[in-house]
Chain A
Amino acid sequence: MNEPRPTNERESPAQDRNREAVQFSTFTVAGRLYGIDVRSVQEVTKSLPITNVPLAPIYIHGLINLRGQIATAVSLKDLFELKEPAPPEFMNVVCRLDGFLISLLVDQIGDVIELSSDAFEPTPDTVSSQVAKFMDGIYKTPGNLISIIDVRRVLEVLND
């Protein structure tokens, strides 16, 4: 794991430059660390009242009033089909995409960290496909592996 993979070496310099100094908002779901490109995050808020939407899939917890705008609350735990018990309160990572607001419900909010592309690796095959399909890849940090979530992929699954 510590050796850089050949795939990394083959990546074009342009891509490298693009990946340079990307900042990620980190959070935990069921004890695991995830990250999301800070540019797609509008804000992070504490738990807000949720209006349940009957008939919606289980991972859509409902709708949130975010200062007069309506966001769809998606529980990552349910989306990833993790069986861990839910925390008493969720935190909201609110992302704006195609004019719609999606609030990812997570357990805890972490720091915003800057990661360089050297630390990037594609998602290992062993990661459960229910999680892997939402991931761009992973970043290695000292003592931690951060799974990077792509909000667009989450939206695609919702729209399916």
Chain B
Amino acid sequence: MKKNTNWEYAPAPEAAKIAKIAKRYDHFINGKWTPSQSGKTFRTINPATGRKLSEVADGNDADVDAAVKAARAAYEGLWGKMSGRERGKYIYRIARLMQERAREFSIIETLDGGKPIRESRDIDVPLAANHFFYTAGWADKLEYAFPNRNPSALGVAGQIIPWNFPLLMAAWKIAPALATGNTVVLKPAETTPLTALKLAEIIADSGLPEGVVNIVTGAGTTGAAIVNHPDVNKVAFTGSTSVGKFIQQTIANTDKRVTLELGGKAANIILEDAAIDQAVEGIVNGIYFNQGHVCCAGSRLFIQESVYEEVIWKLKSRMRTLVVGDPLDKNTDIGAINSKEQLKTIQKYIQLGQEQGGDMYQPTCKLPSAGNWCPPTLFTHVTQSSVIAQEEIFGPVLAAQSFRTVPEVISKANNTPYGLSAGVWCDKGARLFQLTTQLDAGVVWGNTFNQFDPASPFGGFKESGFGREGGLHGLAAYLEM
């Protein structure tokens, strides 16, 4: 037998042909597939190959207006009068249909967005179905969820979602809106519209009354049309901080409700008594999950100085085992960067990180020739004032610093305009909670990272936005009380 064989993994691709993707997708308005009134379309491409997947309708003000009118009519009609129990049945049905077609959904999510099939299969799609299941159960129990507060729906919800978790974000937005009796106009991101459109197919199959969920595709101007529409009662947005600020300015003079889930620059703090090997796993999961396209990514690593060297060698060694490449391959850990533009942004930050004196480490990995790729990247000896420690990169780039004392790391961790998430690794429970209570972040994970559950509220402070999604807090955001 050969000794010291490297035993590389042979390709193990998921079967792309299982996914049925139409040549063209129209808007889903009032239960019908409706072409753009302008007739315009745009292409959605596979970021791992650069090839076109489909043509998608490009929505303008008139398309958005038609969608909002349909949503208003549904709200004033059947849906608004329906009992919570009946609404719940539809939501359960959507959840079950999504489970039944989970494999197809995960393949399309991976084709359209570039994330590894392991993640779309094990995380995105099951979690999206779970959100529908979870909120379906609350639909007829809202009076018990919010006792003595007479909860009632708001009306038409305009929802705009990002490209990093296309289906999951659609579920986070649509499920609570339906459970609380609202109707929906949703715009998926222009680089990743396909799973939201497949969700529309499921919604049609479920028999949900026409106009309750409308999906309009397009880029920023389409989103602006939703935000600006006078008959929208609530705007829910997940995306960049700059767009979030714009939305707040736009609706400042109206009575529209708004929740914003924006950027982040999370601190992941490793104390010296932590279980180091498991912390390293959490660091990897925190920053390299979904190519780092995660608003709550643990992109700032703070390591107590006595274990700094150990954490860094173990982290580098773990990075060498990450498989970068074809997102459809079941062994891939890091897939394709979502778009050319995002890749350029990430590369700009990597360049800046080097110019500003950080030591860069990237494991050698064979990258495919076509498509958008970025190997997992670690910067050590980063200073708190350098750009890569301050700005959200939204890519697989980690900035590591050391610290000596707990008060020092608390002030460094909070020294950011963002406040979405944070992680602390520590073997002593009391110390862990003492530290976590002092971090200004909406979600703080202890000895784990990037854990999501439909029952757990998620959202940020400061420039990471406001409002919560998930749990009862997520339902409250769609209720008048």
Partners in one complex: no
Q: Which residues of B contact A (CB under 8 A)?
A: none
